Amino acid sequence: MSVQLDARPPATPAARRTARPGRAFRLSRLDEKYSPYLYIAPFFLLFGVFGAYPLAYTFWVSLHDWDLLGAEHPFVGAENYSRLLADADFWHSVVNTLGIFVISTVPQLLAALWLASLLNRRLRARTTWRMAVLVPNVTSTAAVAIVFGVLFGRQFGMINWLLDLVGVGAIDWKANRFASWVAISAMVDWRWTGYNALIFLAAMQAIPGDLYESSAIDGASRTRQFWSITVPLLKPTIIFAVIVSTIGGLQLFTEPRLFHSGTNPIRGGPLRESQTMTMYMFENAFAPHYNFGYGSAVAWLLFALIAIVAAINVVVLRRLGGTDRPARARRVRKERSR
């Protein structure tokens, strides 16, 4: 402190008398300047401990031949990555992950949009309906996965029984690549469609009603209103939902893992029909291989894949109709409300 006091211009007696209020003023200036950092510090500390540190550590591990139980972990550089890039089972899991992601996310978001527009109309017992769509999301993923696993059973499953009633042969949902993707997507959609519908609904309610009124006067049909007013104004929300679904979809683990029961379910079927990247990571890092280094390399490539897919999503969505429209609409709305 004294150093700082000395650094100030020579103080007059009058200034000395006002030293106290000056310090208080300075403190409040400091408070204003730095206390925001204090307020956000908990997030960054938590992120550092639980986000950044594990990320960096995983990378460090991925550069080693790291047996989970081993006493020594020799450094091998990029060897895990080069082996992984040549590993057919890894690419198989990448295709599975992307396949399940596409056939779950696309119908899910479309259905959510449709549900939200239904819920946005004047309905009887509207709150009940709105709450009802969220119920699947409250159920534990494990319970959902186990129930669906039984529903999609080969011999005793209800779905095959129903298929049999209408004369379609039984499908081995767990040992047929495309069928298992569909079954897992059904699980994911059952759980997340309602959640996304509520998010879309919230955004829809922020769209001013006069836009619809004036378009109705201009003779626009409901469908036209939906595609020309609702969807464009929902674009930021859709981008948000797509990115969140991307992250969740590419990290899919619990549903496919619990879909398979019995010996070595982490393979996702005898020919790895529905083994996702996270399952492949687990298979390598834990049982039966316990090769932590290789598993960590899978984790990093998964991270890279998510980043790439998210970037593609944003670019594609921006191209579709341009981003400036929602912003302009917001500006218009603000001006009107003034």
Residue 289 binds to other proteins (criterion: CB under 8 A): yes
Q: Least separation, in Å, of the C-beta of 318 and other proteins? A: 37
**Among 24, 131, 271, 308, contact with other proteins (rule: CB under 8 A):** 271
Q: Rounded to 5, what percent of the chain is helix, strand, coil?
A: 75, 0, 25
Nearer to other proteins, 45 or 327 (CB): 45
DSSP string covering 8-61: SPPPPHHHHHTHHHHHHHHHHHHHHHHHHHHHHHHHHHHHIIIIIHHHHHHHHH
Q: Least separation, in Å, of the C-beta of 135 and other proteins? A: 25
- Dihedral class, residue 268 (left if φ above 0, else alpha if ψ from -120 to 50, else beta): left
Q: Which amino acid is at 28?
A: S
Q: Least separation, in Å, of the C-beta of 152 and other proteins? A: 11
Residue 290 binds to other proteins (criterion: CB under 8 A): yes
Considering only the stretches 13-21, 101-109, 116-124, 255-263, report the one whose residues sit in contact with other proteins under the rule CB under 8 A.
Answer: 255-263
| 268, 176 contact by CB (below 8 A) | no
Which positions ≥6 away from 298 have C-beta within 8 Å?
84, 90, 277, 280, 281, 284, 285
Residue 314 CA to residue 242 CA, distance in Å, equals 9
Residue 153 binds to other proteins (criterion: CB under 8 A): yes
**Among 249, 267, 298, 326, contact with other proteins (rule: CB under 8 A):** 267
Nearer to other proteins, 42 or 167 (CB): 42
Residue 69 binds to other proteins (criterion: CB under 8 A): yes
| 271, 172 contact by CB (below 8 A) | no
**Among 1, 14, 125, 166, contact with other proteins (rule: CB under 8 A):** 1
What is the x/- site pattern for other proteins, positions 19-58, by CB under 8 A?
-----------x--xxx-xx--xx--xx--x---------
Nearer to other proteins, 172 or 243 (CB): 172
Residue 263 binds to other proteins (criterion: CB under 8 A): yes
In whole angstroms, what separates CA 123 from the centre of its chain?
31
Q: Least separation, in Å, of the C-beta of 291 and other proteins? A: 5
DSSP string covering 220-231: --HHHHIIIIIH
Q: How many helices (H) and strands (E) does the chain have?
A: 19, 0
| 272, 176 contact by CB (below 8 A) | no
| 278, 253 contact by CB (below 8 A) | yes
Nearer to other proteins, 144 or 233 (CB): 144
Q: Least separation, in Å, of the C-beta of 89 and other proteins? A: 8
| 126, 242 contact by CB (below 8 A) | no
Count the residues of the shown chain that bind other proteins, applying the rule CB under 8 A: 47
Q: Least separation, in Å, of the C-beta of 57 and other proteins? A: 14
Helix (H, G, I), strand (E, B) or coil at 317: helix
Nearer to other proteins, 179 or 317 (CB): 179
What is the x/- site pattern for other proteins, positions 91-120, by CB under 8 A?
------------------------------
Q: Taking CB under 8 A as the criterion, which residues in 156-195 touch other proteins?
A: 156, 172, 174-175
Residue 18 binds to other proteins (criterion: CB under 8 A): no
Residue 149 binds to other proteins (criterion: CB under 8 A): yes
Residue 89 CA to residue 279 CA, distance in Å, equals 11
Contact residues toward other proteins (CB under 8 A) are: 1, 4, 7, 30, 33-35, 37-38, 41-42, 45-46, 49, 67-71, 146, 149-150, 153-156, 172, 174-175, 260-265, 267, 270-271, 284, 286-292, 294
